[in-house]
């Protein structure tokens, strides 16, 4: 068994994440070339190029999709436009919205850009108009009309002294606007399809335009005429006019003429001579790729959508249709960095590299992605022609294998120096999709695959992979292993055994003899549904299996009996692995959970909830205590085992929390409410803050004290308080405290300040439905209490006069404060009764002959009087309790129940509805 001194793992913390940050739309790179700005639904994400991390995520409060955005040329301001027709100005470095205003456009903004001074902002709308805004003085300076259809491109001339704006719309022409006269001074016509980009020379006299009509046009802006039309034979999405005397001799371009670079549907960069319309360089694709044919241009997933020139670092940047961002270094145009903006469902993930510095990921596509964990830079590996289903890595970590729906298996090798990965071997012999693969454990000598064709194959590998040729693999043995799909295969640590798990609900153990033949040793039966994963223990003669029945089982390799069963997942258990030298298990399921199990105690010691969908990928590092998970929610998470030091830090945090709560209690005792409230907010615990608010409201002059305390809070504290009010207001017990705080905030803070709070609009919208519900409930209670007062006054008149005088009066203070609808005067009872008999037609017919005929038995005055006395006492108790609890919801409910029970003891009483004339008065 494992070493008794081994420390069990008890917890895992998220070390890093690779998650989607770009799902299509606009991309912009900052002037200092340090950040990439890109849209992702309702957010603009800011990616730091050096680390590959998302440092900011800017989102509109209304969570409407962002239709366009623009970063100012000084990298200070960011303006976004949403479908709600709002423009928002951001201090993006602080992730704070500083200003918002209506776009004036009648339908959403499609494009926008800043001028070179970062003063003017142009917005092109789907309503065929262009607005120009002065973002410093905050007003609209121009409203330019005349475009036809959606204005999808706007761009200022780089020389701001010219005050010119270029735009393009659905008529495929380029309009030049003079901002001095607000007139269109010319229309440049050359393209027959959408104009996609414009690029200017340094002197501002030459412009190159690109279009999806497969041409680029060179313009002379002095004469406003086309100098040359260049056929590029692909739909062009981006063009960059290179500076004069750019040296590209390293890639074989010796021309000294004016050059420009195009990026388009074929997915390659091309360099063209502007004067001769000749292509002088075409980028070379990897050996596994070939340029798309003309018929495939429109749907090419490797097509390029944007092209940027980064002069400070001598780089070009492109964005692909697959949402990948690539950086190329001048003048060699070699790939320097690559970021993946969006991963589809993650089907498998494994650590890779000498020190597990990389991970390789299968993402529901025919490409593999290799991420460097330090920078998130990614290599995309092409070779498979259909979805890659799973992966496995050899012991040394530089060689790994993949299999796919294309019925093939491939072996890949990472160069230890450069980190580049290439395909070194491939084989294709299965007759259906290959869904499982396992590498030999001792040395890289063979791989085993399992397929939907119900067979298991063993493939021999050569001792080395010299040269650049791809070795062709041939299976040494094929075995009909199961009656249904083979979902998982695993090779034992000594390379002598093989386990397979199938959709037929069984797992099987096979011998791997030296001659390559498979011999069946036994069958593991017990799962109620298909088996998704099998795994050998690294130290014991046991096998772990996970199944769609939601269980994990441990099996003896000697007698094939089930040793333990672990239950805890609410759905299929997709993957199971051994950790802590075989003493613990990690499992991942279709419920999105990862669970840590201790085998000896047969219990789950930790549940990790970091994914929203099926966790297909689960792998532990061979070098340290990390693990990596990949999910169908497109997220990849790297976890680190929490060490003793980190546990001590966590314990210190808990002790600090205890000390802060003790300090809070002392501050409340000393009635230092401002400090107490600030401390409670710093703990970020709404219930603790509510305790302080309740304490303030129980003091004398509570309204003034609450107002004085809240107004002294910082802006961020008021923002947190508004967020807490939304939570409190959902509970009837706490709604009065929430409304008291809201009254202070809404009364003393201007709407402009409130709307600047993060999520203010969402918070206020969340308050409305619950507040209306509380108002309706209080209204019903008020009506019921008024009717009770009317009934009580009527009953007092019926009883014995002496008895009634001795009884204490009913406490109706709350009703008098709320202006009761009517009062009954004993002395004028007869007159009022006569008047009611004359005026009211809706009362009980025939009941006006007897003054109090609604009481059946008038010979029971003492019984009625005693009942009323009990009711009176109950009401006094209720009123006392209500005053102590500041008319809280709880006391209101108790008071309503007490009123109900107080009326019940009255015998032989029939209550008629109150006359309409009284209830309406």
List the domain boundaries for the chain.
Answer: 18-246, 344-480, 658-777
Q: Do 360 and 353 form a contact (C-beta atoms < 8 A)?
A: no
Q: Would you state the CATH architecture of domain 344-480?
A: 7 Propeller (2.130)
Task: Summarize pLDDT for 571-596 with one digit per residue, the tens.
Answer: 999 999 999 889 999 999 999 999 99
| pLDDT (tens digit per residue) in 520-530 | 999 999 999 99
Closest by CA position to 472, among listed 415, 421, 429? 429
Average pLDDT over residues 265-291: 82
In this predicted model, what pLDDT tens digit does every residue of 657-670 receive, in sequence order?
778 878 888 888 88
Mean pLDDT, residues 669-673 taken together: 87
Average pLDDT, stretch 342-348?
92
Contact present, 626 and 357 (Cβ < 8 Å)? no
Return the pLDDT at 298: 56
Q: What are phi and psi of 647, to 5 degrees?
A: -65, -40
The number of helices, as runs of H, and strands, as runs of E, in the chain is: 14, 57
Q: Which residues pair with 523 in a beta bridge?
A: 508
CA distances to 680, 681, 686 from 661, rounded to whole Å, are 8, 12, 13
Compute the Cα dihedral for 807, 813, 818, 823 and give only its sign. positive
18-246 and 344-480: same fold?
yes
CATH superfamily of 18-246: YVTN repeat-like/Quinoprotein amine dehydrogenase (2.130.10.10)
The rounded distance, in Å, linking the Cα atoms of 533 and 527 is 12
User: CA–CA separation, 696 vs 704, rounded Å?
Assistant: 10
Average of per-residue pLDDT values in the chain? 83
Dihedral pair phi/psi, residue 706, rounded to 5°: -65, -45
Phi-psi region of 195 (alpha: psi -120 to 50; beta: other; left: phi over 0): beta
- In 455-602, DSSP assigns E strands to 455-460, 471-472, 475-480, 486-491, 497-502, 506-512, 518-525, 531-536, 542-547, 551-556, 562-567, 573-579, 584-589, 593-598
Angle 644-669/673-682 helices, nearest 10 degrees?
160
pLDDT at 180: 94
% of the chain with per-residue pLDDT over 70:
83
Token representation of residue 416: 């230890």
pTM: predicted TM-score of the whole model, two decimal places: 0.68
pLDDT digits 0-9 by tens, 28-69: 999 999 999 999 888 999 999 998 899 999 988 777 889 999
Confidence (pLDDT) at 658: 79
Cα-based torsion angle of the residue sequence 561, 567, 571, 572 in order, rounded to the nearest 10 degrees: -20
Q: Can you give the pLDDT at residue 835?
A: 43
Q: Percent of the chain beyond pLDDT 90?
A: 53
pLDDT at residue 650, rounded to an integer: 64
Q: 456-472 burial by CB neighbour count: b if 16+ within 10 A, else e?
A: bbbbebeeebeeeebbe
pLDDT value, residue 61 = 75
Query: In angstroms, rounded to a whole number, what is the distance separating the alpha carbons of residues 738 and 392?
Result: 56
Residue 604 has pLDDT above 70, yes or no: yes
Cα–Cα nearest to 153, from 123, 188, 186, 131: 123
Of 127-131, 506-510, 518-522, 787-791, the least confident: 787-791
Q: What is the pLDDT of residue 132?
A: 96
How many angstroms separate the CA atoms of 329 and 336, rounded?
Answer: 6
* Residue 805 confidence (pLDDT): 44
Distance CA 123, CA 106 (A): 12
Q: How far is CA 579 from CA 381, 553, 584, 619, in A?
A: 30, 16, 5, 10
Number of Cβ atoms within 10 Å of the Cβ of 816: 11
For residues 846-850, average pLDDT = 37
421-428 and 471-472 beta bridge pairing: parallel
CA–CA separation, 288 and 278 (whole Å):
27
CB 380 within 8 A of CB 422: no
pLDDT digits (tens, 9 = 90+) for 134-159: 999 889 999 999 999 999 999 999 99
Residue 253: per-residue pLDDT: 86
Q: Is the pLDDT of residue 622 over 90?
A: no
Q: CA 147 → CA 169, 176, 177, 178, distances in Å?
A: 6, 11, 11, 14
DSSP readout, 869-912? HHHHHHHHHHHHHHHHTTT-HHHHHHHHHHHHHHHTT--SB-PP
CA-to-CA distance for 794 and 815, rounded, in angstroms? Answer: 16
Residue 687: what pLDDT?
86
Residue for token pair 């001795």 = 806
Q: Which two tokens stand for residue 230?
A: 């260049």
Beta bridge partners, 863, equal none
3-state secondary structure of 285: coil
pLDDT at 9: 82
pLDDT single digits (tens) 779-837: 888 888 888 888 888 776 655 454 444 444 444 444 434 444 334 444 444 444 444 44
Mean pLDDT of 884-900: 41
Q: Label each residue of 733-751 as H, E or C.
A: CCHHHHHHHHHHHHHHCCH
């Amino acid at each position: 068994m494992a070493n008794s001194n081994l420390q069990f793992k008890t917890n895992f913390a998220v070390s890093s994440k690779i998650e989607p940050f770009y799902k299509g739309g606009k991309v912009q790179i900052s002037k200092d070339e340090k950040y990439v700005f890109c849209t992702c639904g309702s957010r603009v994400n800011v990616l730091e190029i050096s680390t590959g991390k998302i440092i900011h995520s800017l989102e509109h409060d209304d969570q409407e999709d962002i239709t366009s955005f623009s970063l100012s040329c000084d990298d200070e301001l960011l303006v976004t436009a949403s479908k709600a027709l709002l423009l928002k100005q951001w201090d993006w470095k602080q992730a704070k919205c500083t200003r918002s205003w209506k776009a004036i456009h009648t339908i959403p903004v499609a494009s926008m850009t800043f001028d070179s001074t970062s003063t003017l902002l142009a917005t092109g709308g789907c309503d065929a108009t262009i607005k120009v805004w002065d973002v410093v003085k905050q007003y609209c300076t121009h409203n330019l009309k005349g475009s036809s259809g959606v204005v999808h491109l706007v761009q200022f001339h780089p020389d701001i002294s010219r005050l010119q704006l270029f735009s393009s719309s659905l008529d495929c022409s380029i309009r030049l606007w003079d901002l001095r006269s607000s007139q269109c001074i010319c229309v440049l016509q050359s393209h027959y399809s959408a104009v996609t980009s414009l690029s200017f020379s340094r002197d501002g006299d030459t412009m190159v335009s690109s279009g999806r009509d497969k041409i680029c046009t060179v313009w002379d802006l002095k004469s406003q005429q086309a100098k040359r039309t260049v056929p590029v034979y692909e739909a062009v999405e981006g063009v960059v006019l290179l500076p004069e005397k750019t040296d590209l001799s390293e890639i074989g371009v010796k021309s000294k003429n004016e050059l420009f670079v195009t990026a388009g549907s074929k997915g390659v960069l091309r360099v063209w001579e502007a004067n001769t319309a000749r292509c002088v360089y075409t980028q070379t694709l990897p050996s596994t790729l070939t340029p798309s044919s003309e018929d495939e241009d429109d749907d090419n997933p490797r097509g390029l959508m944007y092209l940027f020139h980064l002069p400070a670092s001598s780089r070009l940047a492109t964005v692909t249709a697959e949402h990948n961002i690539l950086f190329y270094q001048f003048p060699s145009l070699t790939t320097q960095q690559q970021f993946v903006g969006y991963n589809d469902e993650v089907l498998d993930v494994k650590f890779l590299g000498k020190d597990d510095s990389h991970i390789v990921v299968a993402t529901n596509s025919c490409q593999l992605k290799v991420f460097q964990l330090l920078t998130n830079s990614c290599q995309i590996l092409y070779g498979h022609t259909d979805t890659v289903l799973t992966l496995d890595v050899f012991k040394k970590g530089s060689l790994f294998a993949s299999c796919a729906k294309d019925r093939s298996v491939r072996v890949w090798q990472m160069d230890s120096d450069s980190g580049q990965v290439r395909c070194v071997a491939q084989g294709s012999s299965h007759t259906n999709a290959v869904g499982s693969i396992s590498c030999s454990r001792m040395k890289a000598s063979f791989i085993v695959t399992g397929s939907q064709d119900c067979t298991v194959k063993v493939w021999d590998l050569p001792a080395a992979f010299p040269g650049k040729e791809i070795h062709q693999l041939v299976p040494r043995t094929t075995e009909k292993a199961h009656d249904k799909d083979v979902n998982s295969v695993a090779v034992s640590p000594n390379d002598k055994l093989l386990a397979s798990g199938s959709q037929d609900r069984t797992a099987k153990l096979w011998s791997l003899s030296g001659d390559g033949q498979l011999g069946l040793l036994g069958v593991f039966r017990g799962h109620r549904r298909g088996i998704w994963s099998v795994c050998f223990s690294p130290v014991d003669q046991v096998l772990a299996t996970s199944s769609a029945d939601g269980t994990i089982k441990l099996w003896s390799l000697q007698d094939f009996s089930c040793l333990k069963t672990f239950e805890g997942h609410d759905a299929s258990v997709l993957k199971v692995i051994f950790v802590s030298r075989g003493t613990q298990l990690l499992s991942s399921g279709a419920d999105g959970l990862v669970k840590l199990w201790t085998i000896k105690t047969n219990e789950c010691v930790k549940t990790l909830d970091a994914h929203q969908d099926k966790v297909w990928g689960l792998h532990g590092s061979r070098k340290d205590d990390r693990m990596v998970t990949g999910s169908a929610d497109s997220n990849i998470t790297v976890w680190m085992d929490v060490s003793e030091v980190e546990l001590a830090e966590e314990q210190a945090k808990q002790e600090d929390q205890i000390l802060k709560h003790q300090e809070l209690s002392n501050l409340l005792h000393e009635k230092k409410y401002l400090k107490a409230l600030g401390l409670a907010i710093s703990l970020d615990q709404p219930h603790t803050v509510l305790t302080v608010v309740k304490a303030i409201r129980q003091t004398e002059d509570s309204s003034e004290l609450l107002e004085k305390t809240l107004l002294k809070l910082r802006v961020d504290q008021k923002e947190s308080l508004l967020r807490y009010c939304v939570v409190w207001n959902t509970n009837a017990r706490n709604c009065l405290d929430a409304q008291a705080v809201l009254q202070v905030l809404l009364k003393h803070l201007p709407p402009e300040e409130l709307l600047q709070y993060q999520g203010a609009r969402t918070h206020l919208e969340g308050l409305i439905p619950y507040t209306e519900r509380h108002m309706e409930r209080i209204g019903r209670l008020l009506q019921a209490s008024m009717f009770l007062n009317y009934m009580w006054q009527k009953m007092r008149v019926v009883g014995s006069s002496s008895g009634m005088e001795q009884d204490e009066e009913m406490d109706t203070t709350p009703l008098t404060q709320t202006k009761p609808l009517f009062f009954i005067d004993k002395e004028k009872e007869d007159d009022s009764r006569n008047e009611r008999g004359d005026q009211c037609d809706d009362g009980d017919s025939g009941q006006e002959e007897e003054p109090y005929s609604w009481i059946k038995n008038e010979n029971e005055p003492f019984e009625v009087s005693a009942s009323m006395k009990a009711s009176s006492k109950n009401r006094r108790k209720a009123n006392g309790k209500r005053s102590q609890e500041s008319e809280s919801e709880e006391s209101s409910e108790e008071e309503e129940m007490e009123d109900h029970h107080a009326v019940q003891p009255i015998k032989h009483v029939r209550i008629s509805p109150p006359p309409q004339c009284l209830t309406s008065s």
